[in-house]
Amino acid sequence: MTPETLIDKYYADNPQLRHILLRHSTDVANMADDVARRHPELHADTAFMREAAMLHDIGCYLTDAPGISCHGTEPYIRHGLLGGELLRREGMPRHARVAERHTGTGLTAATIAAQQLPLPAADFVPETIEEQIICYADKFFSKSHLDRVRTPEQVLRSLERFGPEGLERMRQWIALFGV
């Protein structure tokens, strides 16, 4: 099943959110492709990465975020976890890991506990190069402002709420991947 077919399966009844998701995910996928092209030494699996980038936010429709046409019942911070569960049911465990690990620059069990986030006390930090590149690229594109690309400074400001370790991870990715 292609990413677009899977998105259609879950988003057919919400064309506005489908549009937002496709636009955002395409921007993330294109930036991830660009990073991989500029850094062949990283040996990223570009075909998988493009699919996973298109599906990283598939769980959004289950959350309550009316500003981006999400009218579900779950807190938005759970969209990655919910997307991971959905992708596992679809037989896509590698894609599920990307969905689960892209919030902020990844969340540790310690951060989840300290901030009392409505997530399981587990580590959801990107590990593979593909997970890292997608998480990195995702931070430059907002679903509420589809026409904008954030600067690295804006990205860092947006990550402050996730704590210092997330900021440091992003700084390392900026140095590694470039903009």
Q: How many CB atoms lie within 10 A of CB 158?
A: 15
Is 163's pLDDT higher than 90? no
Three-class DSSP category at 115: coil
Nearest alpha carbon to residue 173 among 158, 148, 152: 152
pTM of the full predicted structure? 0.96
Tokens 């991947």 -> residue: 177
Nearest alpha carbon to residue 106 among 76, 129, 83, 136: 136
- In this predicted structure, what is the pLDDT of residue 24? 98
HSE on the CB side for 49, CA within 13 Å? 28
Is 162's pLDDT higher than 80? no
Q: What is the DSSP letter of 51?
A: H
- In this predicted structure, what is the pLDDT of residue 40? 98
Q: Are 80 and 98 in contact (CB under 8 A)?
A: no
Q: Are 105 and 173 in contact (CB under 8 A)?
A: yes
More confident residue, 56 or 160: 56
Categorize the per-residue pLDDT at 179 as very low, low, confident or very high, splitting at 50, 70 and 90: confident
Number of domains forming the structure of the chain: 1
- In this predicted structure, what is the pLDDT of residue 176? 96
Domain range enclosing 108: 3-177
Q: What is the CATH number of the domain that holds 110?
A: 1.10.3210
CA 156 to chain centre: 16
Partnered with residue 104 across adjacent β-strands are 106
Give pLDDT tens digits for 80-117: 999 999 999 999 999 999 999 999 999 999 999 999 99
| Side chain identity at residue 139, one-letter code | K
Instruction: Give the residue-averaged pLDDT of 58-76.
Output: 97
Q: Are 94 and 48 in contact (CB under 8 A)?
A: yes
Categorize the per-residue pLDDT at 154 as very low, low, confident or very high, splitting at 50, 70 and 90: very high
Dig out the tokens for 24 from the structure: 């955002």
Nearest alpha carbon to residue 140 among 98, 172, 174: 174
Dig out the tokens for 9 from the structure: 């399966």
Is 125's pLDDT higher than 80? yes
